[in-house]
């Protein structure tokens, strides 16, 4: 086991090494990675946000986006939802919506 003075020296070295990165970052010398990474990414984040905002607020193109709804399956209430979704998308005047209803299955032959 370590003696008490050795344990104190080890603890002091650990504390000094942990604090030195942050202390030097504040002095303008060596910059600790954790202290600078958010600052380095900030301009890139602002540029990306500005580009996304500009793209989102740009006027709608003259050409509408074609959308095809394929319904007729039994895993949801498609008879009620398809007209609602079509109306909501057409209300934006950005989409041209077509609906394709898949035909019902042929009845299965009876089991013996």
Question: What would the pLDDT profile of 51-69 be if each residue is shown by its tens digit?
Answer: 888 777 766 556 888 999 9
What value does the CA radius of gyration of the chain take, rounded to a whole number of Å? 32
Q: How far, in Å, CA of 31 to CA of 21, rounded?
A: 7
Question: What would the pLDDT profile of 61-100 be if each residue is shown by its tens digit?
Answer: 568 889 999 988 877 888 898 999 999 999 988 889 999 9
Closest of 83, 87, 85, 92 to residue 64, by C-alpha: 92
Strands 95-101 and 65-71: parallel
H/E segment holding residue 97: strand 95-101
Q: How far, in Å, CA of 85 to CA of 41, rounded?
A: 40
């Amino acid at each position: 086991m370590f003696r008490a003075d050795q344990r104190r020296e080890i603890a002091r070295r650990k504390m000094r090494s942990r604090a030195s990165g942050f202390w030097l970052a504040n002095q303008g010398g060596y910059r600790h990675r954790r202290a600078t990474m958010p600052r380095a990414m900030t301009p890139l984040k602002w540029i990306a946000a500005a580009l996304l905002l500009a793209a989102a607020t740009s006027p709608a193109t003259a050409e509408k986006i074609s959308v095809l709804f394929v319904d007729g399956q039994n895993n949801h209430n498609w008879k009620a939802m398809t007209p609602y979704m079509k109306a909501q998308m057409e209300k934006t005047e950005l989409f041209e919506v077509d609906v394709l209803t898949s035909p019902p299955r042929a009845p299965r032959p009876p089991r013996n």
